[in-house]
A and B are shown apart, each in its own frame.
Chain A
């Protein structure tokens, strides 16, 4: 059984110091996540890869108390489903990223959060699929 990322190219892998992989517009400087090939602000097609800060502040949040419709959701359902937090993390002055949160309780708008990689599900080949998430800075 191996550990595999939920998708290629959204966080550095493998890495002891994981970072989300975004892009920055060479023309206007806007930062996106995930990386994209054109700029949503100035329509430039010159975008460069940009690693995002690991820490930020919780900008908005809620909880996901029921298993989302499958497909597209591929995680645990039924009795195996565990409610999780969801939010946007404001990463420095660069970008806000939507993310799973490691906690569903004790969340406060504005709290300091940091990037972690967590197990998400086991795929058909028995691999542990890993995703990015943010946890409160302790």
Chain B
């Protein structure tokens, strides 16, 4: 079970809306919390990777941390940015370049659906002019088709969202900490059929950081290291049903989540049945339903019964998004995946407080997915 990279510290700046705090300042707070958790000083950090969508140069955080001259790379990779940050930091250690490093993500988005110039996504201008360049509409289409093909109901989507808000209420760092009933969720304004407002996450603000080191040195820093057993990133293949696609071929191909998940399980040498706590990309409640199957935790269609039976709850057989996921935390893109890692690390240490998964979980799983058709999976274990 030996692994070559260990996580020895995690830190967060809460997710939400913070009018008086800049994105860079949030990054610095998350870093300080991660350093304190690892018991190391900033001057001990030998290299860093930082992820952000809104902040061109998140490495400017050195102005707040200390200008130590370390190699500090900035990464943006769509909704999987934080997965890339973590994987690159881990690879740097695995390659033997450095022994102790930092992965940090930070973002500060405006409200409302993400938008951009379609041409930056290899889409024609008219695609945006007509109103097709909208990510939420893609998620509506994807879950609507999935529900049609696999017998999932809108009630299940509401149950999934209600669970996330319930879990968020147990998480002091979450954006949305007020439980919502299934009826409130179903009754909120329809945005893209069958998805209502409260079935979607919101872009927001926040930061998360992780301190990594060579596994054999982990006990210098902590008595409870968490090992990064695998991190895999994949992009869409021809025929995958992905956002911002003016057309699709007739042939249908599994999406990048399925490819990344299989690669990660293979690298870790374990299977979905070995995982005790799960973090999935729930851009919307339907995405959590789809991703449960795409990551191998159930067969297509089984979600209807699993959700109704409470198996995705903190005390269930497949605890998913124990910190409230994206629905309760929002999505500061650069930080989102490291927030998932933060939660899994707390769970595997047995320090998740009111939302602790019972039975001493040993293996945790995180998945990011989004535009323009990219997925990142990480597997962590004690």
Contacts and interface: CB of A to CB of B under 8 A. Distances in A.
Contacts of A40: 238
Contacts of A93: 250
A18 to B, nearest CB: 15
Contacts of A41: 238, 249
A97 B247 contact: yes
Interface centre among B124, B129, B238, B246, by most chain A C-beta atoms within 10 angstroms, is: B129
B25 to A, nearest CB: 27
A88 B192 CA distance: 15
B349 interface: no
A94 B248 CA distance: 10
Contacts of B18: none
Contact of B125 (A61, A72, A75): A72
Contact of A75 (B130, B238, B250): B130
Contacts of A6: 126, 129-130
Contacts of A30: 249
Interface string B120-137: 000011101111111001
Interface centre among A31, A32, A64, A131, by most chain B C-beta atoms within 10 angstroms, is: A64
B64 interface: no
Contact of A63 (B116, B132, B140, B241): B140
A65 interface: yes
Interface in A29-73: 30-34, 40-41, 59-69, 71-73
Contact of B246 (A34, A65, A68): A34
Contacts of A62: 137, 140-141, 144, 192-195
A32 B193 CA distance: 27
B305 to A, nearest CB: 23
A63 B134 contact: no
B43 interface: no
B117 interface: yes
A7 B144 contact: no
A68 B132 CA distance: 8
A52 B345 CA distance: 52
A4 interface: no
B130 A60 contact: no
Interface in B182-199: 189-195
A113 interface: no
Contacts of A65: 189-193
B73 interface: no
B113 A69 contact: yes
A96 B141 CA distance: 14
B142 interface: yes
Contacts of B144: 60-62, 109
Contacts of B248: 88, 95-96, 98
Contacts of A88: 141, 248
Contacts of B193: 62-63, 65
A98 B145 contact: no
A66 B189 CA distance: 10
A68 B133 contact: yes
Interface string B307-321: 000000000000000
Nearest to A100: B130
Interface in A115-135: 120, 131
25 contacts: A6-B126, A6-B129, A10-B126, A34-B247, A40-B238, A59-B145, A63-B192, A64-B134, A65-B189, A65-B192, A65-B193, A68-B133, A71-B117, A71-B128, A72-B129, A84-B131, A90-B250, A94-B250, A96-B248, A96-B250, A97-B246, A97-B247, A98-B246, A109-B144, A109-B148
